[in-house]
Every structure is written in C-alpha cells, then in structure tokens.
A and B are shown apart, each in its own frame.
Chain A
C-alpha cells in the first residue's frame, strides 16, 4: 500500500523537475555564448584599434597565423601534450597523496597534532619559491615539474579530505560495524565513498592551481610545455605567438574544468539534481 501511494508524489516531483529544466533551456538558449560576449567585444575593439606591427598589442587576427605556424611544425602539439602530462600526473598524485594523508590526519587527533603546524607552514609557502630548490635537487626535467605542481595542488585536497573525515556521522560508522563489516570493508565500502564528495571538492579547487603552477614552472625553468613556449616566444620578440599561447593556456584550463565537471556528474549521479532536493 505504501509503495503505491508514495510513487505518485515522487514521479510528480520528477516531472516538475524535468519541466523546470526545459523552461530554463528555453529562456537562456546559449548561456555559454552569452557569457563569452564581453570577451568578443574586447577582442573586436582590439582588432579594429590595433596595428598589425605593434610589438605590444598585435591584433587577434595575427595570433591565428602564429598559432597555425606552431601547429604545422608540431611544436604546439608537443608543448600541449607535455603540459597536460605534467598537469595530469601531478593532479593524480596530489589526489592520492592528499586524500590518503587527509584520511589519516582527519581520523587520528595525534597525527593531526603532530603534522598540523607543518601543514600550515608548508601550505603558506608560495609554490614558485620551491622552484629553485626543486631544480637544485631534481634538475630541469619532468620529475621536477611534477613534484612542484603536486606540492602546490595537494593542500586543497588534503585539507578538504581532513574536514570530510571529521564530518562523517558516527551513526554511519556504527551501522557498518553493527553489520559486521571488517575494518578494510568499512574503509572501502563506507568511509571512502562517504569522503568522495569532499575529496572531489578539493580536486575542483586544486585543478586550476595545478594548471597555473604547471605553466609557471615551465615559464621559470624552460622545461618543455606551453609555459616554456610562451617564455621563448617572449624572449624572441614574437608577441602574436605569446598572445596565441595565452589563449591556448586559457582553453586548456577551460577543458580541464569541463572534464572534471563531467566526471563529477558521473560519479555523483546517485545524488538528487539541484532542482529536486532531497528532504
């Protein structure tokens, strides 16, 4: 009796949510394009006002040809691949390490007391300041890049995970113990899934930081990547290339964000959509 009476209001809610979503689509057909409008206006003014030979403000039309030239000799693709590789490895390492350490520190007050001040100190240190030490210790290579970016990206994930562990409801842990779940199963089936939203929030915060620091390290050290290419272009007086590569960097950042958004909505597909609401 109960199952039947309750499906009705539920399906009704679902329907209204769908309608709501449909309405929103109708009122704002191209939210993305509308958001890009200020940028389009800026670039148009720039194009019309600038002169093609300007050493500081080459008009946007010249960026395209610079980019095509870079693409044709394969330099651009190699640089993008190098940057994305560093970024991905570093963000992956930061996620695993940050979530792992955050889990331990959040779960153990003793570990938190022992490591807390060190974290606060290390977190406040600007990642760029680590570059000279990193190059000294590791040399000018991929490992150095990954290390610096990982250290820059780890904090958001670590601290979010630590906070997430403290927020886990005791009832959830008690329920798992009462159902005879062993320690490993409790971590695997209960604690880690319960922490995923917090970990993912950390990753969303850490990802743009990782992009910025990857580019920064490349600019500072000239190790292969989009950042290094920007620095080279600047040193060889090719302003159109510099601007074109900055656009590429922006696009990479945009892409990273979109990919993470897609992963998030897949992983958390069990959650009510923001339109619905649980309770």
Chain B
C-alpha cells in the first residue's frame, strides 16, 4: 500500500491489489496513512497501533480482526472520529481530515444497553439523531422505516428494558439506519448475543447492507462471522499492531449460513485468517 496522500477519486493502481472487485473502481471512503495511536494513562502513553495504512472503499464490507488488545476497537473509534490519533497520522473521510464524528458515519456499539437511552421509548431512541435536523413528519417516517427494516415495527412504544438483548441491538442498528448513514462502523455488535440470535442478526445485517448500499467496517473476534459478512478481512498483528494481512473474501452473495460456511473457499480462508491472527510477532 502506498504511504502518500492521494486525491480521493483517483484510483491508485497499486493501492488495491487486494480489492476483491478490482474491476469496479470505487471511491475511497476512508483513507488511513501512517496511522499511529497512543493512549495516555498516568504511567505515560502506550502505543496501540503504529503506521497503519489501509483504504476502505465505497460500498465495501470490511472486517477488522486481531487478538484481544490489538487495537481493533481503537481503530474503529478513530474512523468514527471519537478518538484522535497522533498528529502526524492521516485519516481522511472522502478526502476530508477526520476531526470529530463525520456526518454520515455512525458507530454501533457492542454494549447496546449502555448505548440506548433507557428513559426513551424505542421510537424516541431511534429518533435521537434526527431531532431538530429533519422535519417532524420526515423523522416519523424514517423512524418507522428503520424499525420496519429491523423487524421491530410493533415495539415502537416500548421502553428498551422490555426488549431482549437481540432486540435492543436491533434498536441500536435502527437508530443508525434512521440517519441514512453512508458508513456503518460496528464494534463487535453481536459479541454479547447468543449464537442463534447472532446468526439471525448477521443475516438481517446483510439484508440491510444490500438494501442501503452503505459501507460497513465491522470489528469482531469471530472468524466465521467476519468471513461470512465481509468482502475483505483485515488482520491486525504485532504489538503495537499494524495491518498484517488484507484478505479478500471471494464467496458470492447472497450468502447462506450453511452453504457459504461449508464452501471450500470459505474453509481455506478460515484457516488462513486463523493462522494470521495466531501468528506470534517477530
């Protein structure tokens, strides 16, 4: 990957060798160059990531994987404008330097319970980001659409505590969708859910992805989940971490929980990703 800043619309021929749909030249949504993160504490700064370079292209579904503590969540927080990297790092969203959450980029968090407002009903939670920005009528429509998309149309008037964990996570997804996002950043969104709920939410997410055309950056520690959902898997390696591998997933869409996961390509890739994650540094 190239380390220089490039104009956004230009498709650098060498930058995307790993692009799965290389024939479709798509705009660069996120461009990270020389991305270094230090988290300060009372004992001084710890370097989490060093010189990370990668692009996210429009409409792509990318998963970020790595051992725990490898900085997956940190990286996502930086893309979402919730955390600043060191000053010499360059993170651009459609060419603009990311300073604070860029409009159209919405983060969905693992901890749905802490992310929803317990004093608001489901529909008012979903409307949170729309209030004062779009008209009342449009807000109502968008909320209804978003809730319908995640199958919670009937629970609009309930308070979050009345919903199961999977439903609460759907509410959080609906809240992001109501913003009509161009990018969804998802931080282990299904990590706290049971296996059955997880697979059904994965399929719902893929449907939403097909319907909205949004770009998705997805952090997970579940290899099957990453491969099942993504066009490309980035593996963080080392400490401080860098991008060790960028592996395209060549499974056709729409995907199927059994067939896709049993296909030869999937299984071969699964092994490769596993080895990439488990590889010791040095």
| Contact, CB under 8 Å: A172 / B154 | no
Q: Is the contact region of chain A dominated by helix, strand, or loop, or is it mixed?
A: helix
B77 located at the interface, meaning its Cβ lies under 8 Å from any Cβ of chain A in the complex? yes
Closest residue of A by beta carbon distance from B121: A270
| Contact, CB under 8 Å: A171 / B82 | no
A2-36 vs B, CB cutoff 8 Å, 1 = contact: the mask equals: 11101100100000000000000000000000000
B151: A residues at CB distance < 8 A: 1-3
Interface positions of A from 182 to 219, Cβ below 8 Å from B: 185, 189-190, 193-194, 196
* One of A169, A175, A193, A268 near B107 (C-beta < 8 A): A175
B213 located at the interface, meaning its Cβ lies under 8 Å from any Cβ of chain A in the complex? no
| Contact, CB under 8 Å: A185 / B107 | no
A193: B residues at CB distance < 8 A: 117, 119
| Contact, CB under 8 Å: A171 / B115 | yes
B267 located at the interface, meaning its Cβ lies under 8 Å from any Cβ of chain A in the complex? no
B20 located at the interface, meaning its Cβ lies under 8 Å from any Cβ of chain A in the complex? no
* One of A169, A179, A278 near B106 (C-beta < 8 A): A179
| Contact, CB under 8 Å: A3 / B132 | no
The stretch of B9-17, B137-145, B157-165, B250-258 in contact with A is B157-165
| Contact, CB under 8 Å: B77 / A174 | yes
* One of A1, A10, A178, A278 near B101 (C-beta < 8 A): A178
B101: A residues at CB distance < 8 A: 177-178, 180
Measured in the bound complex, the distance between the Cα atoms of B15 and A204 in whole Å is 62
Measured in the bound complex, the distance between the Cα atoms of B121 and A196 in whole Å is 17
| Contact, CB under 8 Å: A6 / B132 | no
A177: B residues at CB distance < 8 A: 81-82, 100-101
| Contact, CB under 8 Å: B111 / A179 | no
**B7 shortest CB reach to chain A, Å:** 27
Interface positions of B from 53 to 81, Cβ below 8 Å from A: 77, 80-81
Measured in the bound complex, the distance between the Cα atoms of B114 and A186 in whole Å is 15
A113 located at the interface, meaning its Cβ lies under 8 Å from any Cβ of chain B in the complex? no
Measured in the bound complex, the distance between the Cα atoms of B172 and A176 in whole Å is 12
Given contacts A3-B152, A177-B82, A180-B103, contact A171 B159 (CB under 8 A): no
A171: B residues at CB distance < 8 A: 109, 111, 114-115
B82: A residues at CB distance < 8 A: 174, 177-178
| Contact, CB under 8 Å: B128 / A10 | no
| Contact, CB under 8 Å: B129 / A181 | yes
Measured in the bound complex, the distance between the Cα atoms of B118 and A196 in whole Å is 12
| Contact, CB under 8 Å: A6 / B167 | yes
**A52 shortest CB reach to chain B, Å:** 57
B131: A residues at CB distance < 8 A: 185, 189
**A190 shortest CB reach to chain B, Å:** 7
Measured in the bound complex, the distance between the Cα atoms of B164 and A272 in whole Å is 14
| Contact, CB under 8 Å: B119 / A3 | no
| Contact, CB under 8 Å: B129 / A179 | yes
Interface size on B, residues (CB 8 A): 41
A185: B residues at CB distance < 8 A: 131-132
Measured in the bound complex, the distance between the Cα atoms of B146 and A179 in whole Å is 15
Measured in the bound complex, the distance between the Cα atoms of B115 and A194 in whole Å is 12
* One of A2, A172, A278 near B161 (C-beta < 8 A): A278
B281 located at the interface, meaning its Cβ lies under 8 Å from any Cβ of chain A in the complex? no
B280 located at the interface, meaning its Cβ lies under 8 Å from any Cβ of chain A in the complex? no
| Contact, CB under 8 Å: A3 / B154 | yes
Most buried by A among B103, B117, B155: B117
**B153 shortest CB reach to chain A, Å:** 7
B92 located at the interface, meaning its Cβ lies under 8 Å from any Cβ of chain A in the complex? no
Measured in the bound complex, the distance between the Cα atoms of B35 and A3 in whole Å is 43
A3: B residues at CB distance < 8 A: 151-155
| Contact, CB under 8 Å: B163 / A6 | yes
Interface positions of B from 134 to 188, Cβ below 8 Å from A: 151-155, 159, 161-164, 166-167, 172, 175, 179
B133 located at the interface, meaning its Cβ lies under 8 Å from any Cβ of chain A in the complex? yes
A235 located at the interface, meaning its Cβ lies under 8 Å from any Cβ of chain B in the complex? no
Give the interface of B toward A (CB within 8 A). 77, 80-82, 100-101, 103, 105-107, 109, 111, 113-115, 117-121, 128-129, 131-133, 151-155, 159, 161-164, 166-167, 172, 175, 179, 200
Shortest 5 CB-CB contacts between residues of A and residues of B:
A179-B129, A169-B114, A278-B161, A171-B114, A178-B107
Give the interface of A toward B (CB within 8 A). 1-4, 6-7, 10, 169, 171-172, 174-181, 185, 189-190, 193-194, 196, 268, 270-272, 278-279
Instruction: Pull 13 A–B residue pairs with CB atoms less than 8 Å apart, ordered by A.
Output: A2-B152, A6-B164, A169-B111, A171-B109, A175-B115, A175-B172, A178-B81, A178-B82, A179-B179, A181-B129, A185-B131, A270-B120, A272-B161
Additional A-B contact list (15), CB under 8 Å, known A180-B179, A272-B162? A6-B164, A7-B154, A10-B162, A172-B117, A174-B107, A174-B115, A175-B172, A178-B80, A179-B129, A179-B179, A180-B103, A181-B128, A190-B117, A270-B120, A279-B113
